[in-house]
Amino acid sequence: MHGNGSSLRQAFALVILTVGGWHAAASDWPQWRGPNRDGAWAETGLVSSFSAPQIPLKWRATVSNGYSGPTVAAGRVYVTDRVEAPEETERVLCFDAETGAPVWVHAYAAPYGPLSYKDGPRASVTIADGLAYSLGAVGHLRCLDAASGELVWKKDPGAGYEVELPTWGIAAAPLVDGELVIAQIGARNGGCLMAWDKRTGQERWRALDDPASYSAPVVTEQAGRRVVICWTGDNVAGLNPLTGELYWKVATPRSRDVINVPTPVIAGDRMFLTSVYEGSYLFRLGQDAPTVELLWHRAGESEIKSDAIHAMISTPLMLGEYVYGVDCYGQVRCLEPKNGDRVWEDLTLVPQRRWGTIHMVQNGATTWMFNETGELIIATLSPEGCRQISRAQLIGPTTGQLGRGDGVCWSHPAYANRCVFARNDQELVCADLAAE
């Protein structure tokens, strides 16, 4: 169902506009891992510690199952979920960021078939220039009016592209760059990565014959050019975001199924990759020409006997050249940038069980971490170790995403308006993080 489109558009007209369209406010979190897809949160005036074991909630709203993290833009919160009755359906949900009141819902049929881990959509909704882009677990791409939820254009598997579905579904959040929306969608006939006109949905280019991975593409500046970097099932590649022209490609051989999940981490001329089976890679991005050089690759005998960082879901941070991330069994580690040697390991942040997950966001000198049990942790990370400042429960884990024990919270939270927004398989919550 849809809300009153006219009144919503009038309300959104109060948001500052430019000739080019909508522009996200500095406090927005309009896409996967924040405004620049780099896990950086720029707001100030935040609490320095939590006052109780449970963080007070500003509001909570009912949602159904899904892995996708929320995004926040222009006073609205967006998330996707899945319901099974009366038919298998994916939904894009929009809520008021201040109150949690439902604003609109866009739903469409999406049978999951043989998809493994059927809990719901994986990819966060991307908001840009007043449009909301969602990508479902079996390849349904939607462009919606962000204010009203009205459908602008859509792309479905079997209509324009045939998806070679990876085991755990399509997961990488769409990337908007300039006038294009780019997605790692895993289409046959050279369409692992595809680009469409963001306003009309007209296909602009497709690139790479690779199998799709679960890793979200990012854009960086390299040798005076914009380069979209995508880690596929077989390679990490740099392409011209306007045309799909390949600038460079490096193979990342795999010993087992495709399971590249974390986003490429870029800091200066360095790029770090990690996966649960293949360990860690550090590359140098050429600054005189769009080239790439492998500096080192570290991998242990297995995910249990690991080396460097074998991350399953969580994207690491690079701070002052050092790398901080979580290994497959919950070991948070710091790596020496020169060769990937382990500087330290912390076993107190994440339960020591398979597929340990903790999402890290950097705010000034402070790291905010959300672990798989639903705790929010304020800390500082340095080569000397992790110093925990404060820790409290934000939301409870649920068993839909992973049916073990009390379940998990695998979805990445959003940070906007001095608040944190997080979801599980039952609710979306908001907590105020502003200092008194």
Return d(Cα 185, Cα 183) in angstroms, integer. 6
Residue-level pLDDT at 255: 86
pLDDT digits (tens, 9 = 90+) for 276-327: 999 999 999 999 999 999 999 999 999 999 999 999 999 999 999 999 999 9
Return d(Cα 294, Cα 282) in angstroms, integer. 6
Residue owning tokens 């999406």: 110
pLDDT over threshold 90, residue 410: yes
pLDDT over threshold 90, residue 20: no
Mean pLDDT is lowest, of 19-33, 71-85, 190-204, for 19-33
pLDDT over threshold 50, residue 16: no
Q: Could you say which DSSP state residue 196 is in?
A: E
Return d(Cα 147, Cα 133) in angstroms, integer. 13
Return d(Cα 34, Cα 358) in angstroms, integer. 16
pLDDT over threshold 70, residue 416: yes
pLDDT digits (tens, 9 = 90+) for 203-219: 999 999 999 999 999 99
Mean pLDDT is lowest, of 6-15, 170-179, 281-290, 367-376, for 6-15
Give percent of the chain with pLDDT exceeding 90: 93
pLDDT (average), residues 333-348: 98
Residue-level pLDDT at 25: 52
Which has more confidence, 8 or 285?
Answer: 285
Q: Residue 239: which pLDDT band, with cuts at 50, 70 and 90? A: very high
pLDDT digits (tens, 9 = 90+) for 29-72: 999 999 999 999 999 999 999 999 999 999 999 999 999 999 99
pTM for this prediction: 0.94
Residue-level pLDDT at 26: 53
Residue-level pLDDT at 260: 96
**What's the burial of 51, exposed, middle or buried (CB within 10 Å: 0-12/13-18/19+)?**
exposed
**What's the burial of 301, exposed, middle or buried (CB within 10 Å: 0-12/13-18/19+)?**
exposed
Residue owning tokens 């949905």: 201
Q: Residue 22: which pLDDT band, with cuts at 50, 70 and 90? A: very low
**253 phi and psi, to 5 degrees?**
-55, 145
pLDDT over threshold 60, residue 184: yes
pLDDT (average), residues 225-243: 98
- Are 153 and 134 contacting, i.e. CB atoms less than 8 angstroms apart? no
pLDDT over threshold 80, residue 11: no
pLDDT digits (tens, 9 = 90+) for 76-135: 999 999 999 999 999 999 999 999 999 999 999 999 999 999 999 999 999 999 999 999
Domain ranges of the chain: 1-27+68-153
Architecture of the 1-27+68-153 domain: Beta Barrel (2.40)
Closest CA to 275 of 288, 256, 294, 293: 256
Residue-level pLDDT at 17: 32
Residue-level pLDDT at 436: 84
Residue owning tokens 């050092």: 322
pLDDT over threshold 80, residue 150: yes
Q: Residue 9: which pLDDT band, with cuts at 50, 70 and 90? A: very low
Query: Quick check: bond before 53 cis, omega within 30?
Result: no
DSSP output for 82-119:
EE-SSS-EEEEEEEETTT--EEEEEEEE---TT-SS-S
Task: Give Cα 272 distance to the centre of its chain.
Answer: 16
pLDDT over threshold 70, residue 23: no
pLDDT digits (tens, 9 = 90+) for 246-272: 999 999 999 889 999 999 999 999 999
Distances (CA, A) of 5 to 61, 125, 357: 21, 20, 39
Return d(Cα 193, Cα 245) in angstroms, integer. 11
